Structure 1
């Protein structure tokens, strides 16, 4: 696809430019086209996005100046924009440390879509855990303590990151489902059904909907709450879903058909340099170029090195640990041990 005709050489249909830099010139509500008819949802009433803070984004992406952002490649940006337009999950695969999880934070910061909702997956993760939790025991204990007044059920219902992302926000939230390949075999199919329907039921609330139709519950955002009507949640703007995988297992064909797929390639020297500049703005790194070049060469020859292994070495170098002696070589070799090597864990 030609890159001519847009701002700064970007294709005009791109809403996400891949810099991770906030775009105050972008009015996403006006510029994002309506969804395809088969991906349109009508949940409501519409909710505003939570306020976005810089602290988590700076920790994940760095606090670089306008010239110090790690720009994504054309394939990556194209697939993110396609996922935005089609309202489809983006399945991101690649080696550890290639920036799969960071992609979600870049999208959220650049498009001002609020804090990222992160759901780290383990072998014990279930769809219900991602949607909501009801502390029935806690409610019984509170009722026994209060005696004369039944506690509000909403104080004991907490939406998970997945459940929060499907609230009827005016603009899409960014949901990071991290390392789905660690999940139980059934979870991808459960997600498939949920992403098709765009809604779910909170059974603890639907059972009392006749006498208490509206209940305010906690969300996955810090100090966040939302009012649930009739015990059901239906999304309005389908979330930007970034599903990461280290490629350790195959997913069901039906799940893959409904995702857009992106393979993250290891960053090159230029990208590593931009990444270091973003994480260490205004800091002089002793022999920084030499370290970056050596890291790139080792990563190319030995493979399976993560970007944070470079950042760890750079940080120690700025702290005075760098010197051209055997102690530094010993330390660097320990930091840059292959992730797949025996004892690397």
Structure 2
């Protein structure tokens, strides 16, 4: 099984190598990178490319590692016991299988996405060390051990909001998705908007990279925001000439798709004011 990208996902060679290395080593692939660089979508495209089902576990600040294994619903069992329900005699009726349990007991190999692991508590990765390493866990309520029938392809994403433990990192194959260069971005845009006029794309990319390289920017626009911006440009039927800015116009057309906070808008307004003063 080799991943090379798909018709709808442009995978740089080094990313494809990382995916295939993780599959060969049977280790989780830890993917880091700026928000909006396609980390979550990577897992879906890997599943599509390899012809495997995918199980997605989206982590929140309140998510506990145990939820990925299973949850025991003691409240429902107590309620059923009070009502005289016969289901209460089998504790298995109150076990809710998590994504890892589902993956371990699947009839064939699957892809598991653990999305934005750095959102959870710092102990979250440590609590999954043995389960991801040995691909098994114990269910204390029933006394059974759940082992993976087929070792899943595990892809873990992180936005680098907090450091991950060394013991966890040791068990992963790591890859950092660098922000695409201009040529790669052109290939990505071509996938989403085939036949886009070259002059319009050149002007849009020029302005996009100017914004990303502005000093002091709090939130750099990402690939997904570029695609949203191009969608608006096409919907408004803006020509390359209309998109081009004069020296005093720092903010691009429809800049709300690219700049996502007031500090960055104020920064560009300040740059525009300074440019006007220098032009006098």
Mapping for residues 175-214 of structure 1, pairs under 5 Å:
175-206=112-143
Contact 1:70 1:271 in 2 (8 A): no
Contact 1:93 1:100 in 2 (8 A): yes
TM-score using structure 1 length? 0.63
Distance 1:340 1:248 in 2: 22
Match of 2:221 among 305, 312, 317: 305
Contact 1:177 1:244 in 2 (8 A): yes
Residue matched to 1:259: 172
Distance 1:141 1:278, change over 3 A: farther
- Give the CA deviation at 1:88: 0.3
Distance 1:291 1:143, change over 3 A: farther
What whole-Å deviation, never above 9, does each CA across 1:232-266 have from its counterpart, x for those lacking one?
A: 32102221111112223322222222111101001
Distance 2:261 2:188 in 1: 20
Q: Does 1:160 align with 2:105?
A: no
- Give the CA deviation at 1:269: 2.4
TM-score using structure 2 length? 0.77
Distance 1:133 1:301, change over 3 A: same
Residue matched to 1:112: 51
* Structure 1: 5+ residue stretches without partners: 1-13, 22-68, 207-230
- Give the CA deviation at 1:301: 4.3
Count of residues in correspondence between the two structures: 256
Secondary structure at the counterpart of residue 277 of structure 1: helix
Relative to its length, the structure with more helix (as a share) is 2
Contact 1:168 1:234 in 2 (8 A): no
What whole-Å deviation, never above 9, does each CA across 1:255-313 have from its counterpart, x for those lacking one?
A: 22211110100122233233333334678899344323422342244573211211221
Distance 1:150 1:162, change over 3 A: closer
Residue matched to 1:96: 35
Q: Does 1:137 align with 2:75?
A: yes
Distance 2:87 2:265 in 1: 54
* Structure 2: 5+ residue stretches without partners: 267-280
Structure with max Cα Rg: 2
